[in-house]
Amino acid sequence: MFAIYGHQNAARLAFYGLYALQHRGQQSAGIVTAGQGDGFAFKKGMGLVSEVFHEDDFSRLPGHIACGHVGYASAGSYRDIQPFSIRYNDQFFTLTMTGGILNGPSLRRRLEKEGSIFQTDSDSELIMHLLARHMHQGLEQGLISALNLLRGAYCLLLMTNDSLIAARDPRGFRPLCLGRMEDAYILASETCALDLMDAVYLREVEPGEILFVNRQGLRSLKPFTPLKHAHCIFEFVYFARPDSNVFGQNVYLARKRQGEILAEENRTVTAKFAMSFPDSGTYAALGYSAARGIPFEMGIIRNHYVGRTFIQPSPDIRDFQIKIKLNPVRELVRGQEVIVVDDSIVRGTTIKARVQSLRRAGAAKIKALIASPPCRHACYYGVDFLGRGELMAGSHTVEETMRLLDLDDLRYLSAGGLLRSVRAEKNADFCLACFDNNYPLPPEEERD
């Protein structure tokens, strides 16, 4: 999620911003611009940012305000691609959001009973309906009234023809930062989007804050009752880019500390060397290797030309989808005991195939160290892949997981250790619900 206010190349910069944030959603991308004349312009499509946008799009996206999104829209559901735009009383409104609204279904049913029609399943459309129902109070108070109805996690960006509004739920589940580039203001999910364009990082948008950006500059409101914060710790485990800061701290350093604490917590595991599967566990592996004094090696090489091209598996080749991407260095691995550090185990399918690939390259023993606790519980606050399918640790003990993955050893980081890696204490401002079942906003109440 990226937005910029006050730059003549707003669309192009939004494109670069989304490009830097591509890891947050690879299936769809969209940019809407406003601020030139009465209308707005947009381009959306399925695919990577670099696939959806082409050079000649930018001349068709005028305006000094832009707002964009990368997401997980399912195939064909073009209408679901954010940002979401409407015309209301001859004015344009465009909304982008991340997160999850727990009482969405019940709010939707209520609106339908009152004659509203929905064209998508998205929370964006829902929020836009709520806003329209309160617009008679004016935009500012109407937005506050609409957001007051929501139970859930959200960072949202609302663009009108002459302003940009950012809002973050009072618990601050998901990250959103504010930056500046020349006279323009930028809002982005992670700081790596600012780095790409040499923009200056100003601060986080605060939980419960509504930030209005327009010709007069910035104006901040905090209209909601303050609540205990619940920053998503999974951003530090897997989601965010290592070169980003989220929730005000650096991801690379947090991951490296996860490795160091893994070393503290598992002093007896031995091996010829430590490695990771490219690239997610690499930073923890470096921390672990340094803390234990065990050499770090790149035991598996990634083919950098894999791209996104769909290549049919061959009937002649086993585990093709892994092999096409990764090849163990046989001379390194053959006959050795190795430690593999990985960030997390979600469904376990990827790690399983990679372990097999190391086995076939001749590894004698494979010991896995996971830089987060067993991931057992679904996320309702925006990490969608933690809600779909079966979580390996949800239905299997560590012992069973080890056997299923054909590992010789398997150790997880403790929840306390994970909190320490982000320099937080117990009961800190983080959400660890997927690890500890401690939901800041329980989903059960909504089952009506």
Q: Of 323, 359, 365, 376, which one interacts with a second copy (CB under 8 A)?
A: 323
Residue 335 binds a second copy (CB under 8 A): no
Rounded Cα distance between 264 and 416, Å, is 12
177 three-state secondary structure: strand
Under the criterion CB under 8 A, does residue 304 sit at the interface with a second copy? yes
Residues from 65 through 84 that contact a second copy (CB under 8 A): 76, 78-79
Q: Please tell me whether residue 243 binds a second copy under the rule CB under 8 A.
A: yes
For the packed helices 139-148 and 123-134, what is the interaxial angle rounded to 10 degrees?
130
Beta-strand (E) ranges in 120-272?
152-159, 163-168, 177-181, 184-188, 200-204, 210-214, 217-221, 231-232, 245-246, 249-250
Question: Min. distance of Cβ 385 from a second copy in angstroms?
Answer: 17
DSSP assignment of 28-63 equals EEEEEEE-SSS-EEEEEEES-HHHH--GGGGGGS-S
Q: Which of residues 145-164 bind a second copy (CB under 8 A)?
A: none
Out of 38, 59, 119, 399, the residue judged to bind a second copy by CB under 8 A: 119
Binds a second copy by CB under 8 A, chosen from 27, 46, 132, 224 = 132
Half-sphere exposure of 290 (CA within 13 A, CB side): 11
C-alpha dist (Å) from residue 147 to 97, 101, 132, 169, 226: 12, 11, 12, 8, 14
- What does the per-residue mask of binding to a second copy show for 189-228, with x meaning CB under 8 A? ---x--xxxx------------------------------
Q: Would you count residue 437 as binding a second copy (CB under 8 A)? A: no
Does 305 contact a second copy by CB under 8 A?
yes
- Residues from 359 through 418 that contact a second copy (CB under 8 A): 360
Task: Please give the structure tokens belonging to residue 138.
Answer: 């004016």
DSSP states along 73-96: PPTT-GGGPSSEEEEETTEEEEEE
Least distance from a second copy to the Cβ atom of residue 49, Å: 7
By beta-carbon proximity to a second copy, the closer residue of 115 and 335 is 115
Say if CB 44 and CB 30 are below 8 A apart.
yes
Identified binder of a second copy from the candidate list 60, 228, 403, 423, rule CB under 8 A: 60
36 binds a second copy (CB under 8 A): no
CB 19 to a second copy: min, Å? 7
Q: What's the min distance (Å) between Cβ of 423 and a second copy?
A: 13
Question: Judged by CB under 8 A, does residue 38 bind a second copy?
Answer: no
Min dist. Cβ of residue 399 to a second copy (A): 31
Number of residues that bind a second copy (CB under 8 A): 88
Rounded CA-CA distance 427/134 in Å is 37
In the complex, what is the shortest distance from the CB of residue 196 to a second copy, in angstroms, rounded to a whole number? 5
Contact pick of 141, 148, 220, 314 for a second copy (by CB under 8 A): 314
Residue 115 C-alpha from the chain's centroid: 35
